[in-house]
A = this chain, B = another copy of it.
Amino acid sequence: MKAAAKAHTNIALIKYWGKRDDALILPMNNSLSLTLDGFYTTTAVEFQNSLSADRFYLNGRLTEGTAYSRVTAFLDRIRDVAGQPDRFAEIHSTNHVPTAAGFASSASGFAALAAAATKAIGLAPNEQELSMLTRQGSGSACRSIYGGFVEWEKGTEADGSDSYAVPVAPADHWNIKVAAVILSSDEKKVLSREGMKRTVDTSVYYPAWVASIPDDLAAIKDGIMAKDFEKVGAIAEANCLRMHATTLAARPPFSYWQSTTISIMQAVQDLRAGGVPAFFTIDAGPNVKVLYTPEYEETVRNTLRHISGVHDVTVTGPGSGVSYI
């Protein structure tokens, strides 16, 4: 009744932006991500007969509140599937995801938790089943089951039975780099779940966002297969800007960007103007991730580090899928 797993976070190149079902976490559009080597969560789960409730230790500290509620609600689903509704677990989870870099630790966190908890309770889901289950803890986490380039198929069924991640290309297919730019201040005024919901409900641009995804996906998958960096980068950058534009047309409008976000975007565009193929992508927050190929490591790092408002830069590359440890 004990198991431990490790899962990496991922960065979306085609963004997940909007739910068609809040409870089951079913998305409005397919998305595509790269699982990242450098940022991960390890989680150990042990079901114990003596427990009358789950106990969740995050980074060594017993945790209550929202984080605990999300974990225990997710374990409820696993208990349901296993037919063991009354078995509770002690969970020890460690995040190796710098919060300041603007990665959601929920992606690696729920992927590792799903893998460890299902094994600990005696289930043996295949990767597709594991992805589908993980999705119900945190949407983007379903992509972290696989390494490398991964697509999350939105599916069309009301019960979510066809909404899960599928591998596009493994981590060793293509060594592209991702620089996570850490800002000096990173207050997020609109939470991503709330912002996503407000956008779906009120943005006049939202339908056109959803309609624009199939073309982006087809083109970026071609680019990934052909290792065409300019193509992949340009599509990812345009997709990110189109996503952020939806928030500016919400009622009331809002933006995740800070002044430094714009400075970094411009620095990346200036790099390109100077012949360095670099592209940016931005999730629901002010932080920027910069994509480039290994030969430009030095130039990109130096450029990003010297932007006013940038605290640090952390570089990583393609990572593997979930594994037992």
Q: Given the known A-B contacts A204-B211, A204-B212, A212-B204, are A249 and B245 also in contact in the complex, defined by CB atoms under 8 Å?
A: yes
The closest CB in chain B to the CB of A237 belongs to B253
Report which of B237, B249, B259 forms a contact with A242, defined as CB distance below 8 A.
Answer: B249
A241 in the interface (beta carbon within 8 A) = yes
Q: Given the known A-B contacts A258-B262, A259-B260, A262-B262, are A249 and B204 also in contact in the complex, defined by CB atoms under 8 Å?
A: no
| B251 and A238 within 8 A (CB) | yes
Q: How far is the CB of A280 from chain B (nearest CB, A)?
A: 11
Residues of chain A from 169 to 216 with CB closer than 8 A to chain B in the complex: 204-205, 207-209, 211-212
CB neighbours of A251 from chain B (8 A):
238
A50 to B246, CA, bound (A): 58
| A208 and B249 within 8 A (CB) | yes
From DSSP, what is the main secondary structure of chain A's interface residues? helix
| A248 and B259 within 8 A (CB) | no
CB neighbours of A207 from chain B (8 A):
208
Q: Among A255, A261, A266, find the residue whose CB has the most chain B CB atoms closer than 10 A.
A: A255
A258 to B262, CA, bound (A): 6
CB neighbours of A234 from chain B (8 A):
252
Report which of B209, B238, B255, B259 forms a contact with A263, defined as CB distance below 8 A.
Answer: B259
CB neighbours of A237 from chain B (8 A):
253
Using an 8 Å CB-CB cutoff, how does the interface string of A236-276 with B read, 1 for contact, 0 for none?
A: 01100110111011011101011111110110000000000
A209 to B212, CA, bound (A): 16
Interface residues on chain A, size class = 20 to 34
CB neighbours of A257 from chain B (8 A):
262
CB neighbours of A238 from chain B (8 A):
251-253
Q: How far is the CB of A40 from chain B (nearest CB, A)?
A: 32
CB neighbours of A258 from chain B (8 A):
262, 266
CB neighbours of A263 from chain B (8 A):
259
| A205 and B249 within 8 A (CB) | yes
CB neighbours of A309 from chain B (8 A):
259
CB neighbours of A242 from chain B (8 A):
204-205, 248-249, 253
CB neighbours of A261 from chain B (8 A):
262
Q: How far is the CB of A14 from chain B (nearest CB, A)?
A: 14
Q: Among A238, A242, A259, find the residue whose CB has the most chain B CB atoms closer than 10 A.
A: A259
A209 to B246, CA, bound (A): 12
A237 to B251, CA, bound (A): 11
CB neighbours of A248 from chain B (8 A):
241-242, 244-245, 248
Listed by A's residue number, 9 A-B pairs whose Cβ atoms lie within 8 Å are A204-B242, A238-B252, A241-B248, A245-B246, A248-B248, A255-B262, A258-B262, A259-B263, A261-B262
Further 5 A-B residue pairs, CB within 8 A, beyond A204-B208, A245-B245, A248-B248: A207-B208, A234-B252, A241-B248, A244-B248, A259-B263
Question: Sorted from nearest, which 7 A-B pairs have the closest CB atoms?
Answer: A245-B248, A245-B245, A259-B259, A241-B248, A259-B262, A241-B253, A259-B263
